[in-house]
Amino acid sequence: MELKYPSLQLSLALAFWGWQSDMLAYAATVLLLVVISHRTPWRWEMEKAEFHRIGDLTAVLLGFAIIYFYSSDSDTLAVYSILRWLPVLSLPLLLGQLYSMGQLLPLSALFYSMRRYGITTTVDIRLPYAYLCILAAGSGNATDQSYFIGVAAFTLLVLWTSRSGRHTGVIWFLSFLLAGCLGYGIQTGLVKLQEAFEEWAVDWFADWEPDPFKTRTAIGDRGKLKLSSRVILQVSPDDFPLRHPLLLKEAAYDRYSGQYWTTGNSTFQTVTQLHQANTEPLIPTETALNHITVLHLLAQHSVLLALPNGMLSLQGPPEENLLRNKLGTVKWLETPPVVRYQIAYVASDKGSSTPTPFDTQLIPSTAKMLEPLKQELGLSRLTHEQAVASVANFFATRFAYTLDLGNSRDEKEALADFLYRRHAGHCEYFATATALLLRVAGVPTRYVVGYSVQEPDSAAKTYRVRQRHAHAWTEAYVNGAWQTLDNTPSRWAEEEAKADPWWQTMTDLWSDWAIQLKVWQWDRAKQHNKENIPWWAWLVIPLSVWLGWRLYQSRKRVASVQGLQHDDNSADQFEDPEYARLVEQLLAEGHPPRNLGETPLQWLRRLGLNAYEDQVLGYYRRRYKGNAVDTFIPHTLAQER
């Protein structure tokens, strides 16, 4: 059964698209062009090749849109943005049909394969275009049931006009209502199934990454990142190059369970709550000696900020989107596509927040495991400064850096294996062992993870921070301030850089270009209102001017035919038995019918049947009897010769 085209269907679909996707201005413009096509008598005589050009134009516009939306940074997924603009991108096809004389679109304009074989199938795209508008309306992501109701009502309109007469309208409507209820129930069930699956997925992935916001870590976590050369941070100091070592702290921990580091008070509070509690403000106004800009390149909904010690001010994140815990870990919620922030800090400032009981806590099993080293190093008899120096010398003279830890051991025995047998490991082991040995001496310590800033890019005057630059170190509270202690052998960065592939330079060039493009797009997007036309849409202007000029020239030819066609249509409405028999005779003899806009005399002369001209002139006299017959016939003959 062929679907009928209901009246007002296209208009309703355009209005629904404009309402749901917040594109009312564009929908109104398209609707105006559709209405004009019904009101104006102008039509263009378009050949198949011209329809093909319109199809090619639509394909080019769609290609530009795909490239633009997938290369731009927006809070909306690219596929939804493309879907939202589909009615505009497909508009040339619709207008090509509505303003053509044939009122149909060759299917070969949509499919290149049909052009090769010369297939002449035509299609009325008004109904498909209307459903395309309905599909595009879904890009609005309405939180209520308006979209489902609109789709159901539109489908009801289309099917009602094409329904079979075998059943009454009541039965048909009840059947449709039942189908709609079943569809709504299935849709609701799928949404709940998705939510349940997402919850299950979160629980399942929790076994692989227990805490994406670093409320706990285990020995080996940093090592899992080590061999990746992907650039995840870009640090730009105002004074390049840096004149001091720079470690960016991402998270700190104060409790060790024998396997995991955790945070004793991991609750995040808003910056406002911290200010009300009279704690150290996160964004004070003091002037600092050093300034850096950090560009965070991992696309995440929320991120932990990588911050230096001695931070005095932070600019970029809105204060209402910042959370902070008691140990100084800062979380940025609802991040934009480009996470960028500026930091002012004093490199010599170590921080003076008061230690907590968790900072000296040791569980019995860990204390027992460390007892031999406590006795060997005499940690219980040393001052805090002496203990720090003794532990640093212990690791510097007896241990080596390595990523190859050989056969795996029980995680509970990993630290003992590192201290008493292997004497080699990566930063996670050195930082953990340093923190625990100093606690044996009574020194408050914390385990810290973050990144080491060490790879300069002189051309761009920035520093690349790769995943393999992820680092762990210790903070110890000595002489009333938190001191940074990094007992990992200094050659660890050189060792890891050896693992870079030979094509790393080319990868970095591509990465730098992609970063610059991403930042440029985001900065440009912030300067323009969301309602502005995308840059790719301006490409339509020269194309539209060219196409309009071509159509205007074509309109002149068609308009001249319209005048002749008016006389011809008037003649066809006049019933003349003799002329009708003549036409029937010629068609029966196998002659082709008259073309659109062709008068009877032009038709005879095209067929070379001048012998019948007297009969046609007699038809003219009978048709135009009375007024100006003698004037009309010579004028017509002069025009048609």
Per-residue pLDDT, 628: 44
* Confidence band of 448 (pLDDT split at 50, 70, 90): very high
Per-residue pLDDT, 333: 83
* Confidence band of 385 (pLDDT split at 50, 70, 90): very high
Residue 168: enclosing H or E segment and its boundaries? none
Q: Can you tell me the distance from the alpha carbon of 219 to that of 428, in angstroms, rounded to the nearest whole number?
A: 6
Tokens 């106004």 correspond to 285
What burial class does residue 438 get, using C-beta atoms within 10 Å of its C-beta: 0-12 exposed, 13-18 middle, 19+ buried?
buried
CA-to-CA dists, residue 291 to 309, 327, 346, angstroms: 12, 23, 9
Per-residue pLDDT, 167: 73
Highest mean pLDDT among 52-56, 71-75, 185-189, 513-517: 52-56
The pLDDT > 70 percentage for the chain reads: 73
* Confidence band of 444 (pLDDT split at 50, 70, 90): very high
Q: Can you tell me the distance from the alpha carbon of 434 to that of 438, in angstroms, rounded to the nearest whole number?
A: 6
Average confidence (pLDDT) over 397-426: 80
Average confidence (pLDDT) over 64-82: 75
Tokens 């059943």 correspond to 167
Q: Can you tell me the distance from the alpha carbon of 50 to that of 56, in angstroms, rounded to the nearest whole number?
A: 10
Per-residue pLDDT, 626: 47
* Confidence band of 563 (pLDDT split at 50, 70, 90): very low
Q: What is the CA radius of gyration of the chain?
A: 39
Contacts of 101 (CB under 8 A, 6+ apart): 43, 44, 45, 46, 558, 596
pLDDT digits (tens, 9 = 90+) for 522-559: 666 665 544 455 555 566 667 666 666 665 665 544 44
State which amino acid sits at residue 548: G
Comparing 548 with 212, which gets the higher pLDDT?
548
For residue 27, pLDDT beyond 70: yes
Q: Can you tell me the distance from the alpha carbon of 283 to that of 319, in angstroms, rounded to the nearest whole number?
A: 8
Average confidence (pLDDT) over 577-604: 80
Cβ proximity of 255 and 263 under 8 Å: yes
pTM over 0.75: no
Q: Can you tell me the distance from the alpha carbon of 148 to that of 190, in angstroms, rounded to the nearest whole number?
A: 14
Average confidence (pLDDT) over 618-632: 62
For residue 126, pLDDT beyond 70: yes
Q: Can you tell me the distance from the alpha carbon of 640 to that of 635, in angstroms, rounded to the nearest whole number?
A: 9
Contacts of 211 (CB under 8 A, 6+ apart): none
How many C-beta neighbours within 10 Å does residue 419 have? 23
Residue 608: enclosing H or E segment and its boundaries? none
Average confidence (pLDDT) over 513-518: 74
Sequence-distant contacts of 556-565: CB under 8 A, at least 24 apart: 557/45, 558/42, 558/43, 558/44, 558/45, 558/101, 559/42, 561/45, 561/597, 562/41, 562/42, 562/597, 564/597, 564/598, 564/599, 564/639, 565/596, 565/597
3-state secondary structure of 620: helix
Tokens 């093909």 correspond to 52
Q: CA torsion sign, 389 to 394 to 400 to 402?
A: negative
Per-residue pLDDT, 397: 92
* Confidence band of 275 (pLDDT split at 50, 70, 90): very low
Of 460-464, 476-480, 522-526, the one with minimum mean pLDDT is 522-526
- End-to-end alpha carbon distance in the chain: 48
Q: Can you tell me the distance from the alpha carbon of 352 to that of 370, in angstroms, rounded to the nearest whole number?
A: 28
The pLDDT > 90 percentage for the chain reads: 10
Average confidence (pLDDT) over 581-597: 79
Please give the sequence-ordered ranges of beta strands (E in DSSP) within 205-310, or none if there are none: 216-218, 231-237, 246-253, 255-256, 260-262, 269-270, 290-296, 303-304
Q: Can you tell me the distance from the alpha carbon of 473 to that of 450, in angstroms, rounded to the nearest whole number?
A: 8
Q: In this structure, what token pair is assigned to residue 374?
A: 């406590």
Comparing 550 with 424, which gets the higher pLDDT?
424
Per-residue pLDDT, 326: 82
Of 81-85, 101-105, 414-418, the one with minimum mean pLDDT is 101-105
Residues β-bridged to residue 105: 123
Per-residue pLDDT, 150: 85
Looking at residue 294, the DSSP 8-state letter turns out to be E
Looking at residue 102, the DSSP 8-state letter turns out to be S
Average confidence (pLDDT) over 476-484: 89
State which amino acid sits at residue 21: S
State which amino acid sits at residue 76: T
534: Cα within 13 Å, side-chain hemisphere: 22
Per-residue pLDDT, 438: 94
Average confidence (pLDDT) over 398-404: 84
H and E: helices and strands count for the chain: 22, 21
Average confidence (pLDDT) over 307-329: 84
For residue 75, pLDDT beyond 60: no
Per-residue pLDDT, 352: 64
Per-residue pLDDT, 592: 77
Q: Can you tell me the distance from the alpha carbon of 467 to that of 35, in angstroms, rounded to the nearest whole number?
A: 58
Highest mean pLDDT among 108-117, 436-445, 464-473, 546-555: 436-445
* Confidence band of 388 (pLDDT split at 50, 70, 90): very high
Average confidence (pLDDT) over 372-398: 91
Q: CA torsion sign, 74 to 470 to 483 to 234?
A: negative
Mean of per-residue pLDDT scores for the chain? 77
Cβ proximity of 483 and 350 under 8 Å: yes
Average confidence (pLDDT) over 574-591: 81
Per-residue pLDDT, 446: 93
Q: Is the peptide bond before 577 cis (omega within 30 degrees of 0)?
A: no
For residue 480, pLDDT beyond 70: yes
